Structure 1
Amino acid sequence: MTAMRPLDPRLVRRSRGVRRLLAVSVALGLATAGLVIAVAYVVAQVVAQRFDGEPVAALVTAVAVGLAARAAVTWCHTAVSARAAASVKAELRGEVVDDLLDPRRLGPRPNSSRVVALLGPGLDAFDGYVGRFLPQVVLTALVPPLVLLAVARADLLSAIVLAVTLPLIIVFMVLVGMLTKDRIDRRWQALERLGRHFADVLDGLTVLKVFGRRQEKGLREVGERHRRETVRALRLAFLSSLVLELFSTLAVALVAVSVGLRVVEGDLELGPALFVLLLAPEAFAPVKRLGAMFHDSTEGAEATAELLGLLDHDRHEGAAPAPDLRAAEIVLDGVVVRRAGRSAPSLELAHTRVRPGEFVAVTGPSGCGKSTLLSLLMAFDRPTTGYVLVDDVDLSSIDPVAWRRQIAWVPQVPGLVPGTIEDNVRLGDDESGRDDVSAALRDAGAADLPLDRVIDESGDDVSAGERRRIAVARAVLRVRRGDARLVLLDEPTAGLDASREAAVLATLRSLDVTVLVVAHRPETIAAADRELRLTSRMVLA
């Protein structure tokens, strides 16, 4: 296991706000180091001159001005860091949302509970990571070396003691970071597990209530696991802070004893000795503050890595115009799709052709790649090896937006929008009239659904069969408007009775477009021109 990096290079490359914060932090860090050294020198001179009976009024004024300037720089650093944290959070939230909606995004969409955890509690931890930890990293990198140089000019032996002991504390921090990363990983996994469990319970709450399944025990157990991991992380934070303080105190004590003995023996003057004593704690102070902030930042750093991993994926680069699917032949040649973390391919196709206007039923056991095949044809994914060709043009080179304009898609769980049934069938179509919508619903076996019936986004007030019929009517309307020339359906007749299933199949047969339908029911397979049967290893056409 390796220690968590204090700053992910991907964040610097991606976020302009972080780059600006680091640049400002360097400038303010240099100012802070200069003020720390200057104030320590003036204070040492004030004490030394008072021992000699010399006037120190001007020096006292200089101390006051130096302390005020240091406070102002610290306030500016805090304010800039807080504004940067808020800016970066807003920037990354917008980027994640844009990425999820990006039509050129490739690969499966992340789990919704994972996204909620990242955009909610995950980015909330950014305040500690970007707003406090990263600026302190800059201060820790700048202040101690400059303080050591100043001490070396006053007393080389004290500088050597500091130079030997300071790396020991940094080594200790690295070891703590390695252990803390493991604890934070466990806590983050417990938080994600809690979010997924809660989201699953909410999704199936109606079914759970109908069957009398109570979820209090499960939620309590998952929440208790998260609480235990949080307490373990806090316990480690308190223990490491104690050890860090002990190491730094002993190091400063070594310098103080050495300086004190040499002042008593007359080998070192009082002014330089006081200067060294005042600067010695300042060499360790940024490191101690960094150690204290490390635990506050680890959750934000972990969320940052997760979020950047979410954004780190392939995108479509294609810009070629889409061939007209009314006359284009689709060829899948030697297609293999592999998913990360799976030993077996998600889909294997030796060779198959889909001719214009053909009605193809895609069949096979669960897990053989039927939905993956539709995802390939929707350009949501691309093959690991092999090609998807449309009139001898590789699908990966075609503009995905132009390609999808010709496709009507009915997934297993069709999406709904708040509004009426008519709004859901239209879904952005302002040209079709109510008669067109009614005809599409009738041909989808949904003549009993009133156009003005209001439904919500969750779809809790419609049955699974009604949801599918609305989606089929939406696809039919797009075909009849002339927009869609390829219809992809994933089990559109599941949950329908025999009469409505027959109506949907008759409508699909009548459409003068290419139709691919994932099917399990024999009636759907029989209505197709041919069956494309998939297995876990190869395709049988």
Structure 2
Amino acid sequence: MSSTGVRTGSTRPLDPRLVRRSRAVRAYLVTSIALATVMAALVVAQSWLIARIVSEGFEGSGLVPAVTAAVTGLALAVLARAGLGWAHEVVSARAAVRVKTQLRDEVVGSLLDGTPRRGPRPESSHVVTLLGPGLDKLDTYFARYLPQLALALTVPAVVVVAVFVADPLSGITIAVTLPLIVLFMVLVGYVTRDRTERRWRAMVRLGHHFSDVLDGLVVLKVFGRSRRQTKGIAEVGERNREETMGALRLAFLSSFVLELVATISVALVAVSIGLRIVEGHMTLMTGLFVLVLAPDAYLPLRQVGAHFHDSAEGQSVADDVYAILDDDDASEGRAAGVALAERAYRDQPAPDLTGATIVVDGVSVSYEGRSVPALPPTTLSIEPGRITALTGPSGCGKSTLVDVLMGFVAPTGGRVTVTAADGTSYDLADLDLASWRSRIAWVPQVPGVLEGTVATNVRLGAPDASDTEIAQALRDAGAGDLSPWREVHEEGANLSAGERRRLAVARALLRVRRGGAAVMLLDEPTAGLDAATEREVRRSLRDARVTVLVVAHRAALVEDADVVVALAAPLGASA
């Protein structure tokens, strides 16, 4: 899956993919920069008013009208800064909500629209982690990091100009020392990015491990191994805790480093101002103005560095999101994959597959980051009305070929052509996928089951099927012992693997009989079934009198086939 591969996402302060794909981000950036500019002006005004009030009070002028006006102006400036800060937080929170909603919709849509993918589909546990606590990392990315990034772009520039106008020497000192903050921020950022990346990977591993244990919990309990998994979950959880605490320690230490550099820089300005005031080369008001204003030149940069771990976590999540969305910037070379996926979805309706011949012509599938192809170049012809058995060692690409025929995976080489009974030929890459799949009855290696009843799940093959037809399909699939009204829990948790497989075969048979399907694609439909049930399934496949492609390992199913195609394992792959 993509999340375990090499990271090739953006390492810039602001991920350009978010800007390109999200209107909410673009509007937020414009608003954020405008608010930051106003706040920078208020920072200068506030410092000038403080200096005016203190210098007038030190000189003993009392509450003259000028001082009263300055106090009133200072109060208004403080209130205005507080109001703008609140507005900035509100804008940031709303932008985060809109962006998260948009990304969740895009990820779910990408996984459910059926468009062929260049790479393997991500694991469900990773998607759950990503769409849940993963995208929530964007809250701090928008609420803390990006506002400070906007302030860091405007406030130091305005402050340096204001200080330089009041005192050129102090302005030059601040301009020279500011790059030190940036230098240390970059050094700290590299370390922080790696640590937060490790923390995100640890959380993903924890989600994977927990999901795997849940999936196999029934088998583990049957063999008395469930209690031993507690130790494994505890170890993975402990690694997650260690990475989290390590990231927090690094965040505190990075803040300390930036605070130390900023303090030393402000001290240089303060010493110079103090000496010149004592010697009479600078007025008290000018010195106070520069001294009060100088820390604000460093503050936004310090806070950007302190919040860099929020940026690193947000970009780690964005990298995984765009890996799923096959975005052009997610990694090098994705443009070809996106082009193939777009090419594979056209509006041309699929022809009637009754009597059609399906030819697989040199089809191959390769995934990025893998040296061995998932499916080496393969050529075969699936003749109408005949049963074609696909055999071969594990890893030779049998299930991948079925995924190509279903349109779940776009081939990286070769093509699939369909010749209808009237002699018209079609390229699968030009056909509408929904129309194509409506003419196929499919039994995957791991059948999907919905919460409801057995009848509800079988009726997915033909929504208008009667109860009698459903019962007949169950009997023909060797599932006569399954009551159509039996309750099915979420993901078929209360069904055995054999029951789920028989239910899927019944659904496929009903799709042929009532759903208009003329082709059956079955991936090991008799795995885990006893000999008597297997005979029922084999008889039903023969009696269906449609085109059948079956991935088979069991000898009886292979013997029933009219044509047997043996795939060889790709070079470098283990059998």
Whether 2:21 is the aligned partner of 1:14: answer yes
Supply the distance in 1 between the matched residues of 2:200 and 2:26 (Cα, whole angstroms).
Answer: 27
1:278-315 deviation digits (Å, cap 9, x = unpaired): 11001011112212222244323312222222222633
Counterpart of 1:442 in structure 2 is: 475
Whether 2:224 is the aligned partner of 1:212: answer yes
- Stretch deviating more after TM superposition (184-193 or 47-56): 47-56
Supply the distance in 1 between the matched residues of 2:434 and 2:189 (Cα, whole angstroms).
Answer: 45
Retained in 2: the 8 A contact 1:8–1:305? no
Supply the distance in 2 between the matched residues of 1:454 and 1:158 (Cα, whole angstroms).
Answer: 78
Q: Compute the displacement of 1:252 (Å).
A: 0.5
Out of 343, 348, 367, the residue aligned to residue 371 of structure 2 is 343
TM value normalised by structure 2:
0.90
1:75-119 deviation digits (Å, cap 9, x = unpaired): 111111122222222222222222211122524321111112112
Q: Compute the displacement of 1:373 (Å).
A: 0.4
| Percent pairwise identity | 56
Supply the distance in 1 between the matched residues of 2:555 and 2:178 (Cα, whole angstroms).
Answer: 75
Counterpart of 1:489 in structure 2 is: 522
Whether 2:73 is the aligned partner of 1:59: answer no
Whether 2:345 is the aligned partner of 1:312: answer no
Q: Compute the displacement of 1:356 (Å).
A: 2.1
Q: What amino acid does structure 2 have at the position aligned with 1:237?
A: A
SS state of the match for residue 307, structure 2? helix
Retained in 1: the 8 A contact 2:116–2:407? no
Whether 2:87 is the aligned partner of 1:76: answer yes
Out of 411, 416, 435, the residue aligned to residue 383 of structure 1 is 411
Counterpart of 2:335 in structure 1 is: none
Supply the distance in 2 between the matched residues of 1:257 and 1:289 (Cα, whole angstroms).
Answer: 24
Supply the distance in 2 between the matched residues of 1:46 and 1:463 (Cα, whole angstroms).
Answer: 81
- Stretch deviating more after TM superposition (121-130 or 523-532): 121-130
Supply the distance in 1 between the matched residues of 2:57 and 2:485 (Cα, whole angstroms).
Answer: 91
- Stretch deviating more after TM superposition (442-451 or 309-318): 309-318
Distance 1:535 1:409, change over 3 A: same
Whether 2:559 is the aligned partner of 1:526: answer yes
Aligned residues, how many? 538
Retained in 1: the 8 A contact 2:197–2:312? no
Counterpart of 1:25 in structure 2 is: 32
Out of 135, 148, 151, the residue aligned to residue 139 of structure 1 is 151
- Stretch deviating more after TM superposition (476-485 or 89-98): 89-98
Uncovered stretches (5+) of structure 2, i.e. residues with no partner: 1-6, 328-337, 420-424
Supply the distance in 1 between the matched residues of 2:213 and 2:536 (Cα, whole angstroms).
Answer: 35
Counterpart of 2:459 in structure 1 is: 426
Whether 2:369 is the aligned partner of 1:369: answer no
Counterpart of 2:357 in structure 1 is: 329
Supply the distance in 2 between the matched residues of 1:511 and 1:439 (Cα, whole angstroms).
Answer: 13
Counterpart of 2:293 in structure 1 is: 279
Supply the distance in 1 between the matched residues of 2:298 and 2:447 (Cα, whole angstroms).
Answer: 60
Q: What amino acid does structure 2 have at the position aligned with 1:274?
A: L
Uncovered stretches (5+) of structure 1, i.e. residues with no partner: none
TM value normalised by structure 1:
0.95
Counterpart of 2:422 in structure 1 is: none
Supply the distance in 2 between the matched residues of 1:327 and 1:236 (Cα, whole angstroms).
Answer: 67
Supply the distance in 1 between the matched residues of 2:172 and 2:430 (Cα, whole angstroms).
Answer: 63
SS state of the match for residue 510, structure 2? helix
Supply the distance in 2 between the matched residues of 1:514 and 1:415 (Cα, whole angstroms).
Answer: 23
The correspondence of residues 477-516 of structure 1 with structure 2, limited to 5 A, is 477-516=510-549
Supply the distance in 2 between the matched residues of 1:153 and 1:71 (Cα, whole angstroms).
Answer: 27
- Stretch deviating more after TM superposition (316-325 or 253-262): 316-325
Q: Compute the displacement of 1:123 (Å).
A: 1.7
Q: Compute the displacement of 1:474 (Å).
A: 0.5
Q: Compute the displacement of 1:339 (Å).
A: 1.5
Q: Compute the displacement of 1:482 (Å).
A: 4.4
1:37-94 deviation digits (Å, cap 9, x = unpaired): 1111222222333344542111111111111111111111111112222222222222
Supply the distance in 2 between the matched residues of 1:302 and 1:346 (Cα, whole angstroms).
Answer: 27
Counterpart of 1:158 in structure 2 is: 170
1:320-361 deviation digits (Å, cap 9, x = unpaired): 221221133222212221122221111123432222222100
Supply the distance in 2 between the matched residues of 1:219 and 1:436 (Cα, whole angstroms).
Answer: 46
- Stretch deviating more after TM superposition (435-444 or 385-394): 385-394
Out of 489, 494, 498, the residue aligned to residue 456 of structure 1 is 489
